[in-house]
Amino acid sequence: MHSPFVFDFIIHVLNDKTDYADYGKVESVRRELLRDPQLLNIEDLGAGSVKNNFKQRTVKDIAKHAAKPPKFGQLLYRMVRYYHPENILELGTSLGLTTRYLSLGRPASKLITIEGSEEIARVAESGLHSGGLKNFELRRGNFDNELPAVLEYFKPDFVFIDGNHRKTPTIEYFEQLTATAKNDMILIFDDIHWSGGMEEAWEYIKMHPQTRCTIDLFFIGIVLFRQEFREKQHFAIRF
């Protein structure tokens, strides 16, 4: 392991086995959502457009199949807790479980989260408010429209992208974020090996001239822009 930053990440974040009290708070909400039979109309947001069809799904089905597992939500919590970002951006609120981990990891941060489905956003926002979280703003709409609008007034230093999962939009979001990237910004993509298109997007991101280091945890990919990395470094870590 040649990078002091990545070595530090492995020792103090990835391998941190502390059972933080906030984990229990989020997982108790997950258990409630897994029992919620409420039926929602889900807008199917395509790459760059909204399709005129709706799919009905229960909250418990979304919590079971679409929400990030505890393992990854808790990793994001530890990253936020350790690196102390001031501005956090999440693309893909879903039911708000990962949003809770991000918020609780550093309550002093400003957190903006974006959700494309109106009904899912309604459930998430209600739960976040009832949970007493105050450091977040939930925006509704297509990422293609909302991300440029947010970046006009908000400069994130920690970003988690969990939505769309298509090559072209993923690259477009990356390009928009790199245009305003700070040296210490941490950018995280979900499901980088989910499809051939996502793997192509991940390769593009790795080879981008502004990318200095990537960490492939298989299900998620971490991108760093730190100029102290004089040569590109790419790591694949079993997690």
What is d(CA 26, CA 23) in angstroms, rounded to the nearest whole number?
A: 5
* CATH number for position 107: 3.40.50.150
Domain presence at residue 227: yes
Identify the CA nearest to 29 among candidates 115, 133, 160. 133
Provide the domain count of the chain.
1
Domain presence at residue 72: yes
Domain around 192:
4-20+67-236
Domain presence at residue 29: no
* pLDDT for residue 144: 93
**DSSP output for 54-84:** EEEEEHHHHHHHTSPPHHHHHHHHHHHHHH-
Does the predicted TM-score (pTM) go above 0.95?
no
Token representation of residue 236? 């694949």
Contacts with 79 (C-beta within 8 Å, 6 or more apart), sequence order: 13, 105, 158, 186, 188
* pLDDT for residue 49: 35
Domain presence at residue 162: yes
Domain presence at residue 28: no
Q: From first to last of its 239 residues, what are the pLDDT tens digits of the chain? A: 567 889 999 999 999 999 999 999 999 999 999 999 999 988 766 443 334 445 889 999 999 988 889 999 999 999 999 999 999 999 999 999 999 999 999 999 999 999 999 999 999 999 999 888 989 999 999 999 999 999 999 999 999 999 888 999 999 999 999 998 889 999 999 999 999 999 999 999 999 999 999 999 999 999 999 888 878 899 999 87
Domain presence at residue 58: no
Q: For strand 39-45 and strand 50-58, is the pairing parallel, antiparallel, or unpaired?
A: antiparallel
pLDDT digits (tens, 9 = 90+) for 183-193: 999 999 999 99
133 to 29, 92, 148: CA distances (angstroms):
13, 18, 25
* pLDDT for residue 62: 93
Beta-bridge partners for 91 = 114, 161
